[in-house]
Structures are given as C-alpha cells and as structure tokens.
Structure 1
Amino acid sequence: MKANIGIKQENINKVVDVLIKVLADEFVLYTKTRRAHWNIEGPDFYNKHLFFEKQYEELDEIMDTVAERVRALGHYTPATLKDFLELTHLSEELKEKNDANGFIKELLIDHESIIIYLRENINYIANDLQDAGTSDYITGLVETHEKMAWMLRAHLN
C-alpha cells in the first residue's frame, strides 16, 4: 500500500532513490568496517579491534533505520549484495595497507564521501521534494557520520 503522507508519489519515489543509495553506501561501509575488525593486526590490536566493533555496530543500527525509512515511505529496500554494489558510491576494494592506519584512512574516506552525499541531498529533499522528515533524518545521519569520522581522524597523525 502506498504511503499517503502529504508528499506526491513522484517525490516519494525520488526520496527513496536517494535513500536506497544511502543504504547501499552504509552496507558497503559496514562490511569494510567488519573487515577491519576481523583483520586488524599489530601492537594495538585489541584496542583497534574493539574500536572497529563499536563502529560497525553503529553502522548496523544506521542501516536498519535507513531501511525502515524506505519502508515507511511505502517502498521495499534492495537487499542483495549485487544490488548494494550497483547502488553504492563507495568501492569495496581496500586501497590502503592492511594495518590500523590503512583501515582508518580507508574508512575515513568513505565516511566523508557519505557525509558529502547526504549533505548534497538535505535541501533537495526538503525543498524540492517537500519531505522535511527525511531531510531531518539525513541531517541526523550527517551528524552521526561526522562524529564517526572524527573518531577515525583522531587516530591519524
């Protein structure tokens, strides 16, 4: 059943197009953060292992809320790896070294990419598509990713 929430269906469809790309980005970032958690080595193994765990748990919660937002708008979410890889702005490839600094640099770049994409869509969704709720929601996501990026950045020299 379509959502009857005072937003034109055409606009809801465009909002959902943005949200499913966000969901794909979050899923890829979650997977890369899990990879860092699973594969970290070195003298700071334990602390970084726990740090990455905290970050992927936060990303797991974000993915769930993005998917629920899509469902609240009356759409289904993509839910295959193939779909996510086709929709994401991120690369699943690891371009940095397989160590703490390499993982942190890679994840930081992805968080910043997501922040930029979200920020580019805040006013578009609020003003052009007349969906203040989703605009407010993704503003909150920007703040969450900014904090996560700060935590990553703080580990670098």
Structure 2
Amino acid sequence: MEINIGISTAARKKIADGLSELLADTYTLYLKTHQYHWNVTGPHFNTLHAMFETQYSELALAVDAIAERIRALGFPAPGSYSAYNKLTSIKELDEVPEAMAMVRDLVLAHEVVCRTARSILPATEEGHDEVTADLITQRLEIHEKTAWMLRSMAA
C-alpha cells in the first residue's frame, strides 16, 4: 500500500537513509559494549562489567526502535553485518584493550553516534518528521549522558 503520512517519499527516503547509518552505529556500539562486558578484567571488573551490561541492554532496545522507525517510513531496515560495516562510522579494535582503554573507546563511540544522530535532524525538520526528531532527541540524551559518565570514569 502507498504511504501517506504527510511526509514526501523523497523526505522519507532521506530520513530513512540517515536512520540506517544511526542503526549501524548503534548496533556496532552494542557489539563493542557487549564484547567489553565479556572481556573486561582488572580492579574495576565488577563496576565495568555491570555498567557495560546496562549499556548494551539499552542499546539492544534502541536498535529495535530505530529499525522500526525506518520501516514505518516505508523502507527496509539494514540488518546484516556487511551492511552495518558499510554504514557505520565507529572504528573496531582488533585487540581486547585494557579496562580504561575500553572506557575511553566507548566514549569515542558514543560521540560518533551523537554526531550521526545530529546529522539527521535537518532532514527531519525539512520533512516535518517530528516523530523521528523525537526519537533522535531521546537517543542524543542517552548517548551524551553515557559518554559523560564514561568520560568521568576515565578521568
């Protein structure tokens, strides 16, 4: 069926493309955070292990919300590792870093997600897509706060 939600097809496509990048960044951050949860060691183990679990659990819910918004706009949501690898701006590390390097790496990754999310806002304004703008605002609040908390721990 045709989609007639008051946002043009071109605007929906532009927003969905941006959300696809946000989805890839969010999923990549989820994987990175989950890996760090499994592999963290050292004197901060208990604190970081629990904190990383809270963070990756929140990210798992976020990827679903972002993907469902892409679908609501009428486009397929990317869902493969190869698609995410092409779309993400988050750098993967080849080794398992020490605990505080994990924290610093996650700060950088959350900041990447913030920049990706912000880059979509002009398209949501042009397309009068308040729903996506609200989703992005919520994501920004979470990622900025998480980056601040991690940054404070790494100081």
Place the TM-score, normalised by the shorter chain, in its bin. Answer: over 0.9
Q: Which residue in 2 is equivalent to 1:64?
A: 64
8 A contact 1:40–1:100 mirrored in 2: yes
Distance in structure 1 (CA, Å) of the matches to 2:125 and 2:78: 26
Q: Which moved more, 1:86-95 or 1:108-117?
A: 86-95
Partner of 2:100: 101
Q: How far apart are the structure 1 equivalents of 2:116 and 2:130?
A: 17
Offset of residue 154 of structure 1:
1.8
Q: Does structure 1 conserve the Cα–Cα contact (< 8 Å) formed by 2:70 and 2:77?
A: yes
Q: 2:20 corresponds to which residue?
A: 20
Which amino acid in structure 2 is aligned with residue 24 of structure 1?
A
Alpha carbons of structure 1 residues 13 and 128: separation in structure 2 relative to 1, 3 Å: same
Aligned partner of 2:127 in structure 1 is 129
- RMSD (Å), alpha carbons: 1.5
CA shift, 1:103, in A, is 0.3
Q: Is contact 2:16–2:70 with CA below 8 Å preserved after alignment? A: yes
Tell me, yes or no, if structure 1 residue 29 matches structure 2 residue 29: yes
Q: Specify the code of the residue in structure 2 equivalent to 1:31.
A: L
Q: Distance in 1 between matches of 2:22 and 2:115?
A: 11
What residue in structure 1 maps to residue 117 of structure 2?
A: 118
What are structure 1's unaligned runs of at least 5 residues? none
Question: In structure 1, how many angstroms separate the alpha carbons of the residues matched to 2:137 and 2:49?
Answer: 29
Is contact 2:19-2:120 (8 Å) kept? no
SS in 2 for 1:154: helix
Q: Give the whole-Å Cα distance in 1 for the aligned partners of 2:145 and 2:94.
A: 22
Look up the SS of the partner of 1:155 in the other structure. Answer: helix
Q: State the shift of 1:38 in Å.
A: 0.7
Residue in 2 aligned with 1:156?
154
Q: In structure 1, what is the Cα distance between the partners aligned to 2:112 and 2:18?
A: 14
* Aligned positions of 1:131-150 closer than 5 A: 131-150=129-148
Distance in 1 (CA, whole Å) between partners of 2:78 and 2:124 is 24
Q: Letter of the aligned partner of 2:99 in structure 1?
A: A
- Deviation per residue, 1:53-112 (Å, 9 max, x gap): 0110011111110011111112211111000000111112258x7111100100100101
> What percentage of aligned pairs have identical amino acids?
38
Q: Report the number of matched residues.
A: 155
- Cα separation, 2, equivalents of 1:79 and 1:121: 20
